[in-house]
Amino acid sequence: MKIQRFSRIGFIMAAAGSAVGLGNIWKFPYMTGVYGGGAFVLVYLVTIAFIGFSVMVAEMLIGALGRSDTVSSFEKLAPPGKKWWKYAGFMGFNGIIIMTFYSVVIGWIFYYLVSIFGGLPDSTQTAKSIFNDLVANKVNLQIFFHTLSVAIVAYIVHKGIKSGIEKINLILMPSLMLILFGLLAYAFSLDGFKEALAFMFEPKWEKLNSEAFIRAVGHSFFTLSLGMGAIMTYAASLPKDTSITKTAFIVTFMDTLIALVAGLVIFSFLFQFNAQPSQGPGLVFISLPTILSNFGTLGVFFALLFFLALAFAGITSAISLVEPVVQYLIDRFGMTRTKAVIVISLVYWLVGIGAILSYSKAWGDVFSIGGKPLFDVLEYATDSILLPLGGFLIAIFVGYVLPKSEVRAHLNNPNEFKAILYKIWLFSIRYIAPIALIFMMLNLMGIIKL
């Protein structure tokens, strides 16, 4: 199976499209709010710089050298006698698990995009009941929008790398940036902007408990789309002679910038009207619409733009969550792209309905595991366990299993890292990243306490 190639800009937009997602615009701001602001942001930024970026380079390297689906790439690159590394390639399946709830959230966004036209809620109480009513009672409506999201993603992925994935990213990513920077320009003119800056960049260490720390590390993986072969699968279609390090840097930078901009926009609006930042997952679905209602018609316009940006970000990430398994089914089972897309979409569509029901009043008890809604279990398992595990395997593979000479030949040349940076990167991939990730997973399993 001949893999199509992205153009250089197409690859950057696709990889950035994968990274910039609900994680940046929905999750990062609410986590920053819940975990108290500045200190959380600082841990997140440090993790991105020292671990996230290094693993991104490693993941791109495996893709660019393997030029295949995740399983075949590991298999191809592993030295003789170590072919069992191909099982690490099954990290590609994490994307499908993520999609089970990711698609549901995209569905909520679609619902909001439609309902905004009916006006914005004028009190937190009303906004809360709209959101809670949707999640607890409107099962059919959620299934409808979840299905719409599955169908849109399936359509794009079935069109393939060039005329599906590259094309849509070249349209949606610039649009998303335009909207977010436009909103930032307006937020800048508000008094709340200064407070937002202080909230996000003045660390309050007393608020940083071990849970916040672990969540910041976990989130840095989620937000960069690392540890599940999305970046690896895209990198299999990297155009020849593209600098891996430069591209990884641009993608990491764009992702971080957009998370910070989204946070600044949301918190500026919030602080402008003295609202609390610690709302949790309901931040953009409850607090933000209520606050925006203070701006009258302009508020409706802002809300529309904001949810549009969120939808764009969600869709471009979703396609990268589905593509690794699609590529796997095409390469290993000779399926046609269309058939692979249909099979996979059906699977996560179905489990996604379980996730929807797990939040509902009527079915919540049935669709829960250990007293936790299926939705939360799926999110926790991927964000906190499977992605870090994937990241760990990538770091070990590139740091210890791939021949050092081959890694050096690819990454330590004038087009890539300068000598000193290469050494720092190698140190990070061999020691810092695996140790930090192991530590984090042991902590999550309750085996050690931070």
Residues that bind ligand PFF (CB under 6 A): 18-19, 21-24, 95, 98, 222-223, 225, 228, 230, 317, 320-321
Which lies closer to ligand PFF via its Cβ, residue 95 or residue 277? 95
In the beta sheet, which residues pair with residue 368? 373
CB of 331 to ligand PFF, least distance (A): 18
Angle between helices 53-66 and 404-411 (to 10 degrees): 100
Nearer to ligand PFF, 18 or 384 (CB): 18
Q: How far apart are the first and last CA of the chain?
A: 47
Indicate the residue among 10 and 390 with the shorter CB distance to ligand PFF.
390
For ligand PFF, give the closer residue by CB, 145 or 222: 222
* CA-based nearest residue to 19, from 260, 282, 364, 256: 256
Closest distance to ligand PFF from the beta carbon of 14 (Å): 11
Shortest approach of ligand PFF to residue 340 CB, angstroms? 17
* Distance set, CA 72 to CA 18, 69, 331, 333 (Å): 22, 5, 8, 12
In terms of CB distance, is 44 or 193 closer to ligand PFF? 44
Shortest gap between Cβ of 360 and ligand PFF (angstroms)? 24
Q: At closest approach, how far in Å is the CB of 27 from ligand PFF?
A: 7
Rounded to the nearest angstrom, the gap between the alpha carbon of residue 153 and the centroid of all alpha carbons in its chain is 15
Q: How far apart, in Å, are the Cα atoms of 165 and each of 11, 46, 61, 172?
A: 9, 31, 21, 11
CA dihedral 164, 167, 169, 171 (to 10 degrees): -130
Query: Cα(122)–Cα(128) distance, rounded to whole angstroms?
Result: 11
Which tokens in the block code for residue 239? 């155009």
Contact 229, 70 (CB under 8 A): yes
Contact indicator for 134, 141 with CB cutoff of 8 Å = yes
Q: Which residues of 383-404 are buried (b: 16+ CB within 10 A; e: fewer)?
A: bbbbbbbbbbbbbbbbbeebee
Helix or strand (DSSP H, E) at 8: helix 8-19
Indicate the residue among 43 and 139 with the shorter CB distance to ligand PFF: 43
Smallest distance, ligand PFF to C-beta of residue 223, A: 4
**Rounded to the nearest whole angstrom, what is the least distance from the CB of residue 121 to ligand PFF in the complex?**
26
Strand positions, DSSP E, 204-276: none
Compare residues 130 and 325 and give the one whose CB is closer to ligand PFF: 325
Q: Tell me whether residue 187 or residue 226 sits nearer to ligand PFF (CB atom).
A: 226
Q: Judged by CB, which is closer to ligand PFF: 52, or 192?
A: 52
Give the shortest CB-231-to-ligand PFF separation in angstroms. Answer: 7
Residue 337 C-beta: closest distance to ligand PFF, Å: 19
Residue 190: how many other CB atoms lie within 10 Å: 16
Amino acid making up residue 272: Q
